[in-house]
Amino acid sequence: MPEILAEPAMWVVVVGALIAGLVRGFAGFGAGMIFIPVAAAAFDPRVAAGTLFIIDTIIIIPLVIRAASHVAWREILPLGLGAMIAVPAGVAVLIHVDPVPIRWGLSAAILVSIAVLAGGWRYRGPERLPLSLAIGGLAGFLSGLAQLPAPPVLVYWLGRDTPAQRIRANAIIFFCFTTVVAGVAYAASGLFTAEVATRSVALLPVYGIAIFAGSRLFGSTSEATYRRIAYGLIVFVALATLPVFDGLLR
């Protein structure tokens, strides 16, 4: 543990975990969009994904309990089914593909997703089972690849006249589907290493405090203000953690 805390890159990840926890606690999603690019640049995409899985699974349990009563189960179940089917494919890519292209792809996906949301584009068509399964499948693939299931479902949900509380609850519960399958796949693939466990222990207090603070802020800030701040932070992180800047973090 002291050796890990002595690493300059680890303190960059601590800041990333703090911001990720605040966003996750407030909105119910977004931790992977912030934490994974930072941790993947500092360590490795595999270590980053395993670490976020552990700290998020432990800390998010109270939010899951509170969100269950606000969930639209008719929307969640098809998305969850599609996600659970596709998670193993994402894990397979994570294990067998060179991490540098993965990181370029993650940053590009994050920037495109933010541009789509901030630009006002929304899906306004009807709910259809095949579409829900496809969106859930894409989210599941991204979850297995890098604990990053949020972008597809957010673009889908935010195009509807859904209250913020419902979107937040849907997001929290939906990610439980991907978490269960990803945990099994990660364990089977050997991602839960001693390094992942040690880094998780070091980051757990910071992430937990941030989750609590973010959940307390929910409802006290306007949705428009929060979105502007969150979009700005995510864009900054996605750009600052591109592979070309590895020399500054390592």
Which pTM was predicted?
A: 0.74
| Rg from Cα positions in the chain | 17
Looking at residue 160, the DSSP 8-state letter turns out to be S
What are the pLDDT tens digits along the chain (250 aa)?
566 666 778 888 999 999 999 888 887 877 887 888 888 888 888 899 899 999 999 998 888 888 888 888 888 899 999 998 988 888 888 788 876 787 787 778 778 877 877 777 766 666 788 888 999 998 888 877 776 777 778 777 766 666 777 878 888 888 888 788 878 888 988 889 999 999 999 999 999 999 999 888 877 777 777 667 767 767 776 776 677 776 655 5
Report domain extents, the chain: 2-244
H helices within the chain, ranges in order?
2-5, 8-27, 31-42, 45-59, 61-67, 73-96, 99-118, 129-146, 150-157, 164-188, 194-217, 223-240, 246-249
